[in-house]
Chain A
Amino acid sequence: MAGKSFDVVVVGGGPGGYVAAIRAAQLGLETAVVERERLGGVCLNWGCIPTKTLLRSAEVLHLMKHAADFGLKADNVGFDAGKVVERSREVADRLSKGVGHLMKKNKVAVFDGEGRLAGKGKLVVARDGEDVGELSARHIVLATGARPRELPEIAPDGEIVWTYREAMTPDAIPGSILVVGAGAIGIEFASFYREMGSDVTVVEVVERILPAEDKEIADLARKAFEKRGIRIMTGARVKAMRVSRSNAKVDVGDSEDRIRTVEVDKVILAAGITGNVESLGLENTGVETDRGHVAVDEWLETGEPGVHAIGDLVGPPWLAHKASHEGVICVEKIAGLRHVEPLETLNIPGCTYCNPQVASVGLSEDAAREAGRDIKVGRFPFIGNGKAIAMGDDRGLIKTVFDAGTGELLGAHMVGAEVTELIQGFTIAKELETTEAELIRAIFPHPTLSETMHEAVLDAYGRALHI
């Protein structure tokens, strides 16, 4: 490998890195990826994809338990935790292999190991702590992602105290679980384990769950989770934890510092993430880091010429599609393409695959008001939607936020069945800069859940039809 030289070397083969590599290869650049573990990164191997597989099992289980509601008979409903996890691993393996094929097809060289900057245009590849080669590259794209943020009170041990990694591959379903953090990751695990029968408690330091979402939507989601039996403690903080061989006793203090001790079989740490900035050889370079993330400009350039960074490594929102998009922007800029647009943060959709699902794009109602916008807000509940009722899941709501003056769609927020698939409609609308007028004119097929989107737009202008 010594002395091999490339136009672009990407460090990290996750959804940011491998997409950047494909795009670079498409643009005719000699490209390589350095990956220390598995192509596809956390997203594909330990995050988005395997959790969705687990959640699908949970969803099918939920339907089987409620078969009678649909006039169906299903006796002795149960599951085999090992098989559920096995399926999740199979899906992850299949997709990781798929990324390998994509690398081959696009003639992207893949090096196994950890990449480390070693002087201008140079990258050392190390395996098991030993340097195994050096690559030279005109441009280096750092895409090493992130890992769970650790809290002083909570040290993951892989046995009783889990991170997402262990939570994704349980040998058995624990009887009780404490989830620390009510962001997307924590809520998804809470939703999964509750469905599988665990007794689940969620602790969140903020006064609400899903802090990135619109408050009204998050509150509705919270009610739905609590109805499913998930215990939620907001404005609460883990004060101390005593771990034994078989369980953990966790002292949770509320906002007034009243302590409640919760005894659980497992603790899942999901209190945010921090960028993998270590051992990248950033010392003595112009690359600056800020609170665990690499600082970049709008074109994903670091302070060091020829060194770029994308994805979770550069900061929130920590989303695979954001990382991929940054990868594309970054290499298109490297290739000197004209008309490259910087990332528009307000057009990045976010999805949480809990039950019921939560999805959103753009400004929340509160954020729009805080920004001083004169707004119109529309709401439409799924109880007014024929398809939702036919599906047997009419929980939830779609909400739209428009600028009262220009009709600009500022945000859309959803909780309910399949809303993670619906949000893309509003994402396109935002990217195309549509106003309420075009959305009102657009024809939504009947009967679909998407009709609720239309009604939520109509409602913002006092024109909702089916309510």
Chain B
Amino acid sequence: MPIEIIMPQLSPTMEAGTLARWLVKEGDDVASGDILAEIETDKATMEVEAVDEGRVGRILVAEGTDNVPVNRAIALLLEDGEDASALEGIGDETPAPAAGSPAAEPSPGAKRAAPEDGADDSRVRASPLARSMARQTGLELVTLTGSGPRGRIVKRDIEAALASGAAPATAHAPHPVAATPEPRPPVAGFVEVRVSNMRRVIAERLQEAKRTIPHFYLTVDCELDRLLAMRKDLNDRGEDYKLSVNDFVIRALALALGKTPDANAQWAGDTIRRFATVDISVAVAVEGGLVTPIVRHADAKGLATISREMKDLAARAREGKLAPEEYRGGGFSLSNLGMYGVRQFDAVINPPQAGILAVGAGEQRPVVKDGALHVATVMSCTLSCDHRVIDGAIGARLLTAFKGYIEDPLAMLL
């Protein structure tokens, strides 16, 4: 009996992922521990390892296929002594993961499956009518939120989504976007680009944030000269670290949060959750979006440790190789656009967190001190707060503490 290789669940909330790449082909012998394929979720790329040894008998899901549900068979492994005849009839019942995906064609198993099925939504709670309407209009149920009992997607949710223009323009053509592997040729002056899982998550989360979180913003200017001098001093010691301004910012924010526990919290519906640890999500720009790997216990880590961790996390984030626990959770976020020369900006809170600090560039500005004009290196930082959790005064205390560490960096070393 051939062994089924299934779509792994990379995190508790993962429902489907993209089969990014096969590293084996049909007929290859594999040993336990061999990497078979790469799976892409909204934020990370993970490898699927072989648990058993055998020969790849049949690949059921072609690479590049989106929305392959967790636990679906993606390939069949022949055990020792089995030949291709053992594959007869197996996998034929497995529905095609993504209809019309041309890459899925070579897979004989997928060929006979119901062609009108789109992205697998069998795990989505939806009424039969809602499913039927989604199929008709090309809407993907996985992108909708249900308003029926226990979150069931019902007719009115589909109607609302259609009214808001969520469906592809061409009704009765299921998943025209997914069916197009390359961007369409420019017609009518635009190109339609497929929305990646990451893009979709960013869109949903930030839309949710702006819709549900009452944001307010506090900005301070921090003088950086002492911090820059200390950084130079530390970096010039020839140790195996090279501290960035951002490493200092992470530590300063962590210490400030430690001093302002009211701000190290999040809105949890009926309660406010106050965190016992300071875990900072740091926004890292990656191809096609951004990821927020977490520096955990950042208040308890030294600058060198933070620096090393951050370099590693950022590098792996760019490669899409973060493990889910490395970017899920986190109590507070940090976004630094200083390296792009941005002077100041307001960041959108990353739900369910209650705050994010937006850090601009350190630049020489005129400052007035004791009635005289001076030149100082100044960095503008803006805190976005969820007013349900953080009141103005608490936000101001946090920001004042942060500014204190930045301007008196020796205090950060205590």
Point out residues on A near B: beta carbons under 8 Å: 339, 405-408, 432-435, 437-438
Contact = CB atoms under 8 A, between A and B. Distances in A.
Closest 7 CB pairs of A and B: A433-B127, A433-B129, A406-B132, A435-B128, A408-B129, A435-B132, A406-B133
Given A432-B127, A433-B155, A408 B149 contact: no
A437 B128 CA distance: 8
Contacts of B129: 406-408, 433-435
A134 B129 CA distance: 51
Contact of B136 (A339, A405, A437, A438): A405
A406 B136 contact: yes
Given A339-B149, A407-B129, A408-B129, A433 B136 contact: no
A406 B134 CA distance: 9
A370 to B, nearest CB: 20
A433 B133 CA distance: 11
Of the listed residues B129, B130, B133, B154, the one surrounded by the most CB atoms of chain A closer than 10 A to its CB is: B129
A433 B130 contact: yes
A249 B130 CA distance: 57
Contacts of A438: 128
A405 B149 CA distance: 25
Interface string B124-141: 000111101100100000
Contacts of A435: 128-129, 132
A34 B50 CA distance: 74
A438 B128 CA distance: 8
Contacts of B149: 339
Contacts of A405: 136
Contacts of B132: 406-408, 435, 437
Contacts of B133: 406, 408
Contacts of A434: 127-129
A405 B134 CA distance: 11
Contacts of B155: 408, 433
Nearest to B134: A406
A408 B132 CA distance: 8
Nearest to B126: A433
25 contacts: A339-B149, A405-B136, A406-B129, A406-B136, A407-B128, A407-B129, A407-B132, A408-B129, A408-B132, A408-B133, A408-B155, A432-B127, A432-B128, A433-B127, A433-B128, A433-B129, A433-B130, A433-B154, A434-B127, A434-B129, A435-B128, A435-B132, A437-B128, A437-B132, A438-B128
Of the listed residues B127, B128, B130, B133, the one surrounded by the most CB atoms of chain A closer than 10 A to its CB is: B128
Interface string B383-394: 000000000000
Contacts, number: 30
A402 to B, nearest CB: 11
A42 to B, nearest CB: 33
Interface string B105-123: 0000000000000000000
B191 to A, nearest CB: 31
A433 B148 CA distance: 11
Contacts of B127: 432-434
Nearest to A405: B136
Contacts of A339: 149
Contacts of A432: 127-128
Contacts of A408: 129, 132-133, 155
Nearest to A438: B128
A432 B154 CA distance: 9
A394 to B, nearest CB: 32
Given A407-B129, A408-B133, 12 more contacts: A339-B149, A405-B136, A406-B129, A406-B132, A406-B133, A407-B132, A408-B132, A432-B127, A433-B128, A433-B155, A435-B132, A437-B132
A433 B149 CA distance: 12
Interface in B60-90: none
A435 B130 CA distance: 9
A339 B151 CA distance: 10
Interface string B19-32: 00000000000000
A299 to B, nearest CB: 16
B204 to A, nearest CB: 22
Contacts of B128: 407, 432-435, 437-438
A435 B132 CA distance: 8
A45 B132 CA distance: 45
B4 to A, nearest CB: 28
A400 to B, nearest CB: 15
A174 to B, nearest CB: 50
A62 to B, nearest CB: 41
Interface string B283-310: 0000000000000000000000000000
A348 B31 CA distance: 62
A413 B58 CA distance: 52
A339 B146 CA distance: 12
Contacts of A406: 129, 132-133, 136
A405 B129 CA distance: 11
Of the listed residues A406, A432, A434, A437, the one surrounded by the most CB atoms of chain B closer than 10 A to its CB is: A406
A432 B129 CA distance: 9
A435 B129 CA distance: 6
A94 B48 CA distance: 70
A16 B167 CA distance: 41
B160 to A, nearest CB: 15
A432 B128 CA distance: 8
Nearest to A430: B129
Nearest to A439: B128
A438 B126 CA distance: 13
A437 B132 CA distance: 10
Contacts of B130: 433
Nearest to B154: A433
Of the listed residues A339, A405, A433, A434, the one surrounded by the most CB atoms of chain B closer than 10 A to its CB is: A433
A13 B154 CA distance: 35
A437 B154 CA distance: 16
A434 B154 CA distance: 10
A369 to B, nearest CB: 20
A438 B131 CA distance: 12
A405 B128 CA distance: 13
A433 B127 CA distance: 6
A162 to B, nearest CB: 45
Contacts of A407: 128-129, 132
A335 B47 CA distance: 52
Nearest to A339: B149
A205 B296 CA distance: 79
A353 to B, nearest CB: 31
A433 B136 CA distance: 16
Nearest to A429: B128
A433 B152 CA distance: 11
B166 to A, nearest CB: 17
A437 B127 CA distance: 12
Nearest to A407: B132
A428 to B, nearest CB: 12
B332 to A, nearest CB: 30
Of the listed residues A408, A434, A438, the one surrounded by the most CB atoms of chain B closer than 10 A to its CB is: A408
Contacts of B154: 433
A405 B137 CA distance: 10
B363 to A, nearest CB: 50
A442 B277 CA distance: 54
